[in-house]
Structure 1
Amino acid sequence: MPPRIEPDLRLMSLLSTADRALGELAGIGRRLRNPHLLIRPFIRREAVLSSRIEGTITRLDQLFLFEAQPEEPSHPSDAGEVRNYVRALEHGLEYIRGGEPFSLRMLREIHHLLLDGVRGAEKRPGELRDRAVLIGRSSEFDEARFIPPCHTTIGPMLDDFVAFLRDERSLPVAIQLALAHYQFETIHPFNDGNGRVGRLLITLMLCERQILPQPLLYLSAFFEQHREEYYDHLLNVSRRAAWNDWFGFFARAIAEQARDAVIRVQRLQDLQETLRQRTSRLIRTAAPQILVDELFASPFITMNRAADVMGVAFKSAARTIITLEEAGILREITGQQRNRVYCADEILRLLDEPLTDDPPTP
């Protein structure tokens, strides 16, 4: 790493477009008044989409509900897997914010959190694979679509990979990300969860290299939408060194998802201001404004959580929740008399829906 690269004019144009889109998103990230309110749901959206590529079916609303009501037994069986992706990504971000360099230890800790207590937990979380593996629908090696390197050879490859993560800064950022993602997926160092760790590393690299001030860019939506093309490009690099095609695909992913993030952030900020104004007309005290802001971090809320967020008694929180429900800002979703959960539908819809250039219909 890195291989010899000979970009053509088409690739240079795609790289330039990706750089401009990243720059615009970075500017938005620096101007966020309270980054936590948007980073938290963006991470969860990525967790859902990255896990979906691996076959999970948990939706974004189900993940938020799982976090709001973790003791409820009716959650989807793979909600824990998606929650673990959130934990793993947040753990990696803690490393980056603490100034820690990329290391094999970091990768192993991330992998351990990803598989801890969920499907794949029997596949040695945090430990490098100890056997040969194959990729594809067939269980026979001579029919496999791709066979990663033998497990006895991956140690030096990972040393080279970590050195690349630490030291390579001269290449365009889209090429750095594409190279790292391809190399990790090809080495396939763990028995399970490699795809999710590899996609998670994209976000960590953008933050570690200070390309983005906040973790706002995630590519899994693009990869999931173009899943077969994604796999074909990875395979074609291995088969015939089709680097430029892979770099171009990756640059397209960055540009499209950066534009999506910019639009989504702007619309969420506009909605936040609208809901704050609506709430201030309903309730004159300041505490409900804090609750409205919290709904952008998680659109699902319980009365106990509302009381904690606002720092008020339960009865006061209940009155606020009921007022917001009557105004159509919140909707009770359980139909129960106790342990009720409320959802801010407008916020959830903006987080979850595919975006167009036209603003959403009110």
Structure 2
Amino acid sequence: MLGTSRAGQYIEQVEGYRAFIPKPLPPNPEIMMDQEMWNLLSQADRALGRLDGATDALPNPDLFVFMYVRKEAVLSSQIEGTQASLIDVLEFESQAIEPDNPQEVAEVVNYVFAINYGLERLKELPISLRLIREIHQKLMSGVRGSERNPGEFRRSQNWIGAGGCSLSEATYVPPPPHEMLQCLDNLEKFLHNPRPMPTLIKVGLAHAQFETIHPFLDRNGRTGRLLITFLLCEQNILQRPLLYISYYFKKYRAEYYDRLQAIRDRGDWEGWLKFFLRGVYEVAQEAAATARKIVNLKEEHRQLVLNAMGRRAGNAIALLESLYFKPIFTVEHAQDLTSLSYPNANTLIKDLSAIGILQEITGQKRNRAFSYAPYLAVFQDP
């Protein structure tokens, strides 16, 4: 036996490598709630409360959720090396433009589907190993790696390290399959344990433990980040999936991995939890600010259209409203929505482009597509 910490121990396997076997949660000795931890917890809790309130005030909260879910999907996939952008995904969904990287876009679209599927399932099934397997299957459906047992816990050893490294060169080796099942069982018991504990502390512990167990051959990171969203919604901390924590994990990617590793090596749960709570606070603040920006943008553009287009404003406003869910579109979409002829729909788009609301994005004369550029800009990475 090598290197024991309060989070678990590294155990030499007969094949000659060391695998980490995590201890069951909650940690023992228990989490040290010093003043800094209480301050961060209370800041994060308040920020989530404000975010929930800010979205309640939106005329149409679903419009906000629509873009947020896609943004989280893009960022979470980018942490794993996927290059697809938010624009790529919206172009693909609008069927206006063929993506250059269809495989990568499909992975992000699966993530969007997995979020929506999981939130529906939560109405009838608590967060459990069964739900986690179902979510994993949705993530892996029909994309690269789909031959690697979607929705099934692994039956062989996996490891984490630089691309192409062998098991002996790995930076981290999770528990072997026979130990892993017991660890998962312990994690599920912890999730359902009625013993009082601040929800954000529990969510932070659960995410780290899931990543440490690494129960799938692929997509553990994405599944573990989805777990954060589902736990916050299940516990009614958030009514809607509006926390893109992946933004923070991507921004501080090296620290994210270092903090998780410090739990295994030194039992430093507190360092990880403080990092996690800072992240919740930062992204909740940002999301609430984005919600306010959208309310202002919506009002400003509505006024702009009314002032610029007078009596012709009815169709323009109808088109504008649709763009919050379909910010990339074609003339045919405008035609279907307004029942205008093709030439009139084209003129309507030209008028909206002239006042800076729309932008042509293909540079072509035929088969053109347009974007609601100022709205998309609100969601671009700073």
TM-score norm. by structure 2 comes to 0.87
**1:263-307 superposed Cα distances (whole Å, 9 cap, x missing partner):** 111111111111111122325353432322232233211223334
Q: Is the 8 A contact 1:303 1:314 kept in 2?
A: no
Query: What pairs up with 1:124-135 in 2 under 5 angstroms?
Result: 124-135=149-160
* Distance verdict in 2 for CA 1:185–1:278, change over 3 Å: same
Pairing partner for 1:2 from 14, 19, 26: 26
In structure 1, the residue corresponding to 2:370 is in which secondary structure? strand
Deviates more, 1:152-161 or 1:210-219: 152-161
**1:69-122 superposed Cα distances (whole Å, 9 cap, x missing partner):** 2772634541111111111111111112x2431122221121111111112112
Query: What pairs up with 1:126-275 in 2 under 5 angstroms?
Result: 126-137=151-162, 139-168=165-194, 170-275=196-301
Q: Residue 318 of structure 2 aligns with which residue?
A: 290
Q: Residue 111 of structure 1 aligns with which residue?
A: 136
Which amino acid in 1 is paired with 2:133? R
Runs of 4+ displaced beyond 6 Å: none
Q: Is the 8 A contact 1:272 1:296 kept in 2?
A: no
Q: Residue 120 of structure 1 aligns with which residue?
A: 145
Structure 2 unmatched ranges of 5 or more: 1-24
- Identical-pair percentage: 43
Q: Is the 8 A contact 1:236 1:242 kept in 2?
A: yes
Which amino acid in 2 is paired with 1:2? P
Q: Residue 339 of structure 2 aligns with which residue?
A: 312
Distance in 1 of aligned mates of 2:144 and 2:48: 35
* Distance verdict in 2 for CA 1:198–1:314, change over 3 Å: farther
In structure 2, the residue corresponding to 1:165 is in which secondary structure? helix
* Distance verdict in 2 for CA 1:71–1:346, change over 3 Å: closer
Distance in 1 of aligned mates of 2:372 and 2:165: 45
In structure 2, the residue corresponding to 1:337 is in which secondary structure? coil
* Distance verdict in 2 for CA 1:255–1:169, change over 3 Å: farther
**1:142-183 superposed Cα distances (whole Å, 9 cap, x missing partner):** 332111111122223223323333445722222111111011
Q: Residue 44 of structure 1 aligns with which residue?
A: 70
Which amino acid in 1 is paired with 2:380? D
Deviates more, 1:146-155 or 1:51-60: 146-155
Q: Is the 8 A contact 1:207 1:215 kept in 2?
A: yes
Higher CA-based Rg: 2
**1:313-347 superposed Cα distances (whole Å, 9 cap, x missing partner):** 45354343222122221111112333321011111
Query: What pairs up with 1:18-37 in 2 under 5 angstroms?
Result: 18-37=44-63
Q: What is the Cα deviation at residue 64 of structure 1?
A: 1.0
Q: Residue 359 of structure 1 aligns with which residue?
A: none
* Distance verdict in 2 for CA 1:305–1:33, change over 3 Å: same
Q: Does 1:346 align with 2:374?
A: yes
Deviates more, 1:251-260 or 1:149-158: 149-158
Distance in 2 of aligned mates of 1:182 and 1:140: 24
For the aligned residues, what is the CA RMSD?
Answer: 1.9
Q: Is the 8 A contact 1:109 1:126 kept in 2?
A: yes
TM-score norm. by structure 1 comes to 0.91
Q: What is the Cα deviation at residue 240 of structure 1?
A: 1.3
Q: Is the 8 A contact 1:334 1:340 kept in 2?
A: yes
Q: Is the 8 A contact 1:135 1:144 kept in 2?
A: yes
Q: Residue 12 of structure 2 aligns with which residue?
A: none
Distance in 1 of aligned mates of 2:340 and 2:118: 36
* Distance verdict in 2 for CA 1:313–1:165, change over 3 Å: farther
Distance in 2 of aligned mates of 1:182 and 1:190: 15
In structure 1, the residue corresponding to 2:160 is in which secondary structure? coil
